[in-house]
Copies of this chain bind each other. A is one copy, B any other.
């Protein structure tokens, strides 16, 4: 179901804004403006008030969709079981994709996304994606390449953070051993 009804000027302008965002480097740079408009035709517009949990960590049932943020900012937060406080991992603005991992593998949501301001977003469901690929496999393949590129980029960032942590924990271990030589035997 497309959200841009032909007689709805506001929605057409939102759809055009959404299509423009889809071609931004932070989202899916591989899509041409025309292809981005085609993709947006398969999305639904949703609005969230500030403070709303858009995606809930651990959610198992409602995982079959992803969001393109059109306006506003969203925090990505992870709750560690042993701690009460959520750790804010990042803040994402217009042009960002949210929830594409759940769309792809249907596994429980890995993190929560909370609207930091009022947010509007274009939602692509798994069934709409399947319909899009069925209707135009070429644009479907290009959309999937673009989503993959974004996942690959995040995986690179994540790998760099892991390496930094590897170095940090080694340095901390050395500091602990220098403060408490007996700890060396405990390791």
Contacts from A to B (Cβ < 8 Å): 78, 80, 82, 87, 100-101, 104-105, 107, 110-111, 133, 136-138, 140-141, 144-145, 147-149, 151-156, 158-159, 161-163, 165-169, 172-173, 175-176, 179-180
A107 and B153 alpha carbons, distance in the complex (Å) = 9
Question: How many of these chains are in the complex?
Answer: 2
Q: A133-B138, A159-B110, A172-B169 are in contact. Are A152 and B101 (CB under 8 A)?
A: yes
A151 and B145 alpha carbons, distance in the complex (Å) = 12
A166 and B172 alpha carbons, distance in the complex (Å) = 13
A137 and B137 alpha carbons, distance in the complex (Å) = 5
Docked-complex contact A148 and B156, CB < 8 angstroms: no
Shortest beta-carbon distance, A174 to chain B, in Å? 11
Docked-complex contact A155 and B151, CB < 8 angstroms: yes
Docked-complex contact A148 and B104, CB < 8 angstroms: yes
